[in-house]
Amino acid sequence: MSPPETALVAPAAADEPEIDPLPSLDDGPDYLRAGKGVASWLNTRDHKRIALLFYGAVLCTFMLGGVFALALRTELLTPGRTIMDATTYNRMFTLHGITMVWLFLIPSIPNVFGNFILPIQLGARDLAFPKLNLISFYVFVIGALVILGGMFAGGADTGWTFYTPYADSSPTRVVPVVTGVFIVGISTIFTGLNFIVTVHKLRAPGMRWSSIPLFTWAIYGVSIIMVVATPVLGMALALVGLDHGLGLGIFDPAVGGDPVLFQHIFWFYSHPAVYIMILPAMGVISEVVPTFAHRRPASYTAIAVSTIGIAVVGFLTWGHHMFSAGISELDAGFFGVLSMFVAVFSAIKVFTWTLTLRRGQVKLNAPMLYFFAFLFLFVFGGMTGVALATQSLDLHWTDTYFVVAHFHFIMVGGSVTAFLAGAHYWFPKMFGKIYNERFATVGAIAVFIGFCLTFVPQFLLGNMGMPRRYYSYPERFQWLHVLSTGGAFLLGGALLLALGNLLWALKWGPHAPANPWDSRSYEWLTTSPPPPHNFRVTPTLGYDPYDYSLTEEEAREKARAR
Amino acid sequence: MNDPASVNDWLRTMLFLPPQASTMAESIDHLHMLVILTTMAGSAAVGLMAVFFVIKYRHKGPQKAERDRAPTTPPRVEWALALGLFGLFFGLWVIGFMQFVRLRVAPPDSYDIYVTAKQWMWKFAYQEGAHSITTLYVPAGRPVKLIMTSRDVIHSFYVPDFRIKEDVIPGRYTTLWFEVKEPGVHDILCAEYCGTNHSTMRGQVVALDAADFARFLGRGLDRTATAAPFRQEPEVATSLGPSAPMSLVRLGQQVAAQQGCLRCHTLDGTPHIGPTWAGLWGATVPLKGGGRVLVDEAYLTESMMDPMARIRDGYQPVMPTYLGRLRPAETAALIELIKSLAEVRGQEPMQATLPHADETMPAGAIGQPPPQPAQPLLQHAPAPPGEPAAASQGLPPPGAVVMPAPAGHVTVGPNGPVAPNGPVGGAPPPGQPPPLVEEAP
């Protein structure tokens, strides 16, 4: 730890005598300028810089996944061949799914905003294991390269679910792809472990569990899922790899294996993985809403408890992916009713966010617009989840576009929207610049419209009975597919607009003050951007992070922040 | 009466749901409509509430910290909302679960059809020996149970018009049932991704009225030259000739003889090395090491493929596995054979002559003793499904069609069991159209 730390601190130390004892926090290089050159980035232990490395990486994978999605949607414009053949299509949706799930959604909010914000919200100087954090990044990059390498060297056509025995016998490059996902899983575990230890050990003086900010609660909950569930994924994928590469036959009934066993193991991970994707999103929303309503959350406890509730119950619902896979009626019943609990916990959060607006002073900045999009899409998507957990309805809908639309409502309408909310909300903190509100507003509205246009037709397609993963389809489905494709391109354009607006602000935006939103959350106590170790002086964080009865000065005083 | 129907149609159209062609479809759609309308109402209510708060509490002028000291919404409001929601969701779950059980458990008098899926086609085998590829012929107005397996990867049998779907899994059997309301044509779609041509693995269900269905079965028997036989290897084509079709029960007798099953298992209740097949189907038998198991398709298949998994109490673990030695059609045929022996009571003398000729089920076998207790307690309650219709058309009831001669008559010869050529109990001998078909309108 010592040599890199001195390297990081050195410039700051050089400036140390310059620092005014009074709280004039703008002097001294911030973390962005504390080291120069590519090496200072690639070899950094600063959680904020690593967060930015992840930021760059997941934006690349997000764009890649988006391009794959647009290719798929273009192919689906016509019932037959449009631009690619069936094999390419099958590889493409596999590529889209794997890229989006493991290379974007799972690392996105935890590894970017979690990495950046969590230690600051705890008043810590860094994560508990800064080197592990850096290793996590490189492991992630290696995993991503192995996946994409395997994909371009022939690709896998199994879908991101790798259902056996098809994945055992698929003539495509399954082994490198599952190896890559396995490696990415290691990165996930590293990061989750790091967060858990940090929350337990590195809270600032005075901080009780009941004053941990809600975003950190969400990241903490998600870290537990990451550490507990990801090894199961690793196991399942390792067995698929062995089945495919060596013909081991664990999941191959031709030699006595059980293909449905794979589904159990896979969903034991992959259902909680859904909460890996959505819980951090809920965490972002739980920060955005109090800030822009200038109001204490209607119930801090309800949000924190339901976060942990979702994390726990999420482990007991995997069978609802398998109602049609021959599990017994009784099992299906249990999995169905347990799934309803997740909906109740989620609903508690939704009510709390909405009620937080009551008697607030609501400002409609871009993060807040994304919150409204999130609210509607998440409630609708979540309630279609209740519909899907209703077993008799699931038999008609499962493996159709209804399911596709449902999880895109949660994953895109929920997670990506919250990612965008966070990207705008913390942009001043991360980069010390203010984005253009007008373009951001247009972007947020366009994202919402594009999203609805893309996925509402897919609900209707599912009702009509259009199965997912269909390269060709009966002609009666075509007009809805055309609508959906149009929406997808609009959504793509809107995302580019939002990204372009942020990139523009990065270069030309006006400088941001420490607390541009007048928030009381702890991360806004420090400068924008923060110094290399977040606070010049470790703050005392014993007060409520959502206490809007305090003025900003009072809050600073309480935190003894400088 | 007219009004609910038009509301149903209107909502069905609004939600883009396909026609309600099966007996279950309408009630499923009603739950669907309830759930979707609740969903839309719920998300709209939350959205409108948020919009209302934004308008009412829109930030104007400088921040006022004091304002925040107004009390927040009391937690009991949230508690009430959460409890109410849980009640709602639980109610939906109860309805959905009850429907699910009805959807999954076939009525005992269903007409069984064996389905084999492979990349990328569907094959259907009927008890009378007919079979078809891609197009499934079923009788309308009568419950049909599909007993399905796959030869390669997982597929999923999906008929949107019936609101049913069930995965078709290699190495095990899954079942699914439906009753088509009226004659017509409906799409079959494969709903589980199964490789390159997944999206072309489609077929059709053709629902025929009883007379047409009987005619199809008869024609299927006639069309021996064009239909693919179950077994194509010459060495197993046996004395029946390479292309002679046969009922699944007869095929089962043949397979049982060829594979040596009958060295240990008897067909007439005589105790031997393995459990007798007489009266075995539908029984609940004790297991070695405790526990009991219902003898159904699943247990029989497991016993063939993995005999050591669950040994019946009182028998030695000596049976070899037939994994890889039996094809799906042969496994199905053996199961059909064992099913056909369900009514044969054990301990009857080998030389008994035609003891069951009168016992074989009369048409409309409603009053028969529970022949397939595979679904205790969970039966489709209002269940006179189609039986009268079938009977009035002169069709034999499903059980009777496959009833072979009583076990006492099966003598195993070198070429397999020499059984009476046709099933008894009212079914016509193969090769002839059912006698009453001509009377059908």
Using N-to-C axis directions, what is the helix angle for B25-56 and A366-389, rounded to 10°? 160
Tell whether B132 is covered by a domain: yes
Which stretch of A4-18, A313-327, B164-178, B324-338 has the lowest confidence by average pLDDT?
Answer: A4-18
At residue B189, the 3 state secondary structure works out as strand
Say how far apart CA B398 and CA B437 lie, in whole Å. Answer: 16
Token reading at A400: 């159709």
Mutate to test the interface with B, among A157, A361, A417 (most CBs of B within 10 A): A361
Residue B149: predicted pLDDT: 92
Q: Are residues B81 and B164 in the same domain?
A: no
Tell whether B412 is covered by a domain: no
The more confidently predicted of residues B415 and A455 is: A455
Do residue A325 and residue B169 have CB atoms under 8 angstroms apart?
yes
Which stretch of A105-119, A355-369, A462-476, B243-257 has the lowest confidence by average pLDDT?
Answer: B243-257
Given phi > 0 = left and psi -120 to 50 = alpha, else beta, which region is A189? alpha
Flag whether pLDDT at B201 surpasses 60: yes
Tell whether B49 is covered by a domain: yes
pLDDT tens, residue by residue, B120-175 = 889 999 988 888 888 999 999 999 999 999 988 999 999 999 999 999 999 888 99
Q: Are residues B149 and B119 in the same domain?
A: yes
3-state percent breakdown (helix, strand, coil) of chain A, nearest 5: 70, 0, 30
Are residues A380 and A409 in contact, defined by beta-carbon separation less than 8 angstroms?
yes
Which stretch of A25-29, A64-68, A249-253, B130-134 has the lowest confidence by average pLDDT?
Answer: A25-29
| B100 contact residues in A (CB cutoff 8 A) | 323, 329, 332-333, 336, 391-392, 395
Tell whether B115 is covered by a domain: yes
Tell whether B269 is covered by a domain: no
With cut-offs at 50, 70 and 90, classify the pLDDT of residue A485. very high
Give A253 to chain B, closest Cα distance, Å.
5
Are residues B244 and B431 in contact, defined by beta-carbon separation less than 8 angstroms?
no
Do residue A256 and residue B193 have CB atoms under 8 angstroms apart?
no
Tell me which residue range forms the domain holding B100.
2-53+73-104
User: What is the pLDDT averaged over residues A360-383?
Assistant: 91
Do residue A323 and residue B100 have CB atoms under 8 angstroms apart?
yes
Say how far apart CA A152 and CA A465 lie, in whole Å. Answer: 33
pLDDT tens, residue by residue, A289-331 = 999 998 888 888 888 888 889 988 989 999 999 999 888 889 9
Share of chain A above pLDDT 90, in %: 59
pLDDT tens, residue by residue, A421-473 = 999 999 999 999 999 999 999 999 999 999 999 999 999 999 999 999 999 99
Looking at this predicted complex, what is its ipTM? 0.88
pLDDT tens, residue by residue, B248-281 = 888 888 888 888 788 788 888 878 788 888 888 8
The more confidently predicted of residues B440 and B345 is: B345
Q: What is the pTM of this model?
A: 0.78
Q: Are residues B14 and B77 in the same domain?
A: yes
Q: Are residues B29 and B87 in the same domain?
A: yes
Looking at the structure of chain B, the number of domains it has is 2
Nearest to B68 among A159, A362, A548 (CB): A548
Q: Are residues B121 and B197 in the same domain?
A: yes
Q: Are residues B17 and B85 in the same domain?
A: yes
The residues facing B284 across adjacent strands are B294
> Could you tell me if A434 lies within 8 Å of chain B, comparing CB atoms?
no
Tell whether B133 is covered by a domain: yes
Tell whether B129 is covered by a domain: yes
C-alpha to C-alpha distances, A119 to A198, A237, A275, B84, nearest whole angstrom: 7, 32, 22, 38
The residues facing B123 across adjacent strands are B116, B133
| A393 contact residues in B (CB cutoff 8 A) | 28, 31-32, 35, 96
Question: Which residues, including other chains, have CB under 8 Å from residue A397's CB and lie 6 or more apart?
Answer: A387, A388, A403, A462, A463
Q: Pairing between strand B202-208 and B135-139?
A: parallel
What single DSSP character describes residue A200? H
With cut-offs at 50, 70 and 90, classify the pLDDT of residue A7. very low
With cut-offs at 50, 70 and 90, classify the pLDDT of residue A13. very low
Mean pLDDT taken over chain B: 73
Q: Are residues B83 and B186 in the same domain?
A: no
Nearest 5°: phi and psi at A488?
-65, -40
Q: Are residues B220 and B128 in the same domain?
A: yes
Are residues B297 and B173 in contact, defined by beta-carbon separation less than 8 angstroms?
yes
Last residue of a domain, which of B64, B81, B104? B104
Q: Residue B122: enclosing H or E segment and its boundaries?
A: strand B121-126
> Could you tell me if A302 lies within 8 Å of chain B, comparing CB atoms?
yes
- For chain A, list the domains and their CATH numbers: 52-559 (1.20.210.10)
Question: Among B433, B122, B412, B77, which Cα is nearest to B267's?
Answer: B412
Do residue B73 and residue A355 have CB atoms under 8 angstroms apart?
yes
Question: Of chain A residues 57-96, which have a CB less than 8 A from chain B?
Answer: 86-87, 90
Q: Are residues B121 and B209 in the same domain?
A: yes
Residue written as token pair 């040994």: B311
Q: Residue B208: enclosing H or E segment and its boundaries?
A: strand B202-208
Flag whether pLDDT at B229 surpasses 50: no
Whichever domain contains B149, its CATH number is 2.60.40.420
Q: Pairing between strand B202-208 and B284-286?
A: unpaired
At residue A558, the 3 state secondary structure works out as helix
Tell whether B91 is covered by a domain: yes
Q: Are residues B115 and B100 in the same domain?
A: no
Last residue of a domain, which of B188, B210, B225? B225
Mean pLDDT taken over chain A: 89
Last residue of a domain, which of B225, B250, B277? B225
Q: Are residues B92 and B115 in the same domain?
A: no
CB atoms within 10 A of CB A205: 11
